[in-house]
């Protein structure tokens, strides 16, 4: 076999190999992410927005990784609480009662306490759960949602209505997930670790 032909064959093989590596390294539509049918343009939608529920165990686990994801993507995440069933709607009211009073997303410690209170488990009574939720608020000199007056309740339901609109428009059926630029949804189950999720987020932030 001529020497130049061997070199050409080797060069072609390297190109194919590099191309395959490049393709496998790029997040795939339908596997790592999907495009939303209708873009989300509401004010709560940031370049990276986590969609979650205080009732969700996986969301609770993901919460501990949010600071690392924000660092890896150089983004400050927004949050939207889903409202796809009655239980999620009640949890959303509790979450937005905190947002309404703080005028921003609760910090990591309060989010941890909110998850703990809402997810007390089957062994607790409604009274025990309510006391835990109230304690999460009153220990921070905030008003418990159970003590809201009529005006506060009205304002709280505006937050809930906004979240319901986003949940319905996004047609979210599983959480946690992340919405990028209001156009793309990260499929968390298509990733092995936080680094993989951050890679997909960074990829999607650059997409038109």
CA dihedral of 103, 166, 191, 107, whole degrees rounded to 10: 10
Residue 143 is assigned to a structural domain of this protein: yes
> How confident is the model at residue 25, as a pLDDT?
79
Cis peptide before 51 (omega within 30 of 0): no
Residue 11 is assigned to a structural domain of this protein: no
Structure tokens of 205? 């932030």
How many other C-beta atoms are found inside a 10 Å radius of the C-beta of residue 57? 10
Categorize the per-residue pLDDT at 124 as very low, low, confident or very high, splitting at 50, 70 and 90.
confident
pLDDT, tens only, 14-49 = 544 444 444 467 999 999 999 999 999 999 999 999
User: How far from chain centre, in Å, is Cα 62?
Assistant: 8
> How confident is the model at residue 19, as a pLDDT?
47
Residue 10 is assigned to a structural domain of this protein: no
pTM: 0.86
Domain CATH code at residue 62: 3.40.30.10
Residue 4 is assigned to a structural domain of this protein: no
* Count of domains for the chain: 1
Range of the domain at 111: 28-205
pLDDT, tens only, 61-105 = 999 999 999 999 999 999 999 999 999 999 999 999 999 999 999
Residue 89 is assigned to a structural domain of this protein: yes
Residue 148 is assigned to a structural domain of this protein: yes
pLDDT above 60 (res 159): yes
> How confident is the model at residue 21, as a pLDDT?
45
pLDDT above 50 (res 185): yes
Residue 145 is assigned to a structural domain of this protein: yes
Residue 65 is assigned to a structural domain of this protein: yes
Whole-number percent of the chain with pLDDT over 90 = 83
């Amino acid at each position: 076999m001529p020497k130049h032909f061997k070199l050409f064959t080797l060069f072609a093989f390297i190109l194919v190999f590099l191309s395959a590596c490049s393709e496998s390294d790029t997040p795939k539509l339908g596997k790592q992410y999907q495009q939303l049918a209708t873009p989300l343009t509401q004010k709560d939608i940031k370049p990276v927005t986590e969609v979650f529920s205080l009732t969700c165990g996986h969301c609770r686990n993901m919460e501990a990784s949010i600071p690392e994801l924000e660092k890896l993507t150089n983004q400050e995440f927004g949050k939207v609480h889903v409202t796809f069933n009655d239980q999620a709607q009640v949890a959303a009211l509790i979450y937005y009662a905190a947002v309404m009073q703080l005028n921003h997303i609760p910090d990591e410690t309060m989010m941890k306490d909110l998850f703990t209170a809402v997810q007390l488990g089957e062994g607790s009574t409604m009274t025990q759960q309510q006391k835990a939720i109230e304690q999460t608020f009153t220990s921070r000199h905030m008003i418990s949602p159970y003590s809201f007056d009529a005006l506060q309740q009205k304002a709280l339901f505006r937050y809930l209505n906004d979240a319901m609109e986003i949940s319905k428009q996004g047609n979210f059926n599983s959480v946690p997930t992340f919405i990028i630029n209001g156009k793309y949804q990260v499929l968390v189950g298509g990733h092995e670790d936080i680094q993989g999720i951050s890679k997909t987020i960074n990829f999607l932030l650059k997409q038109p």
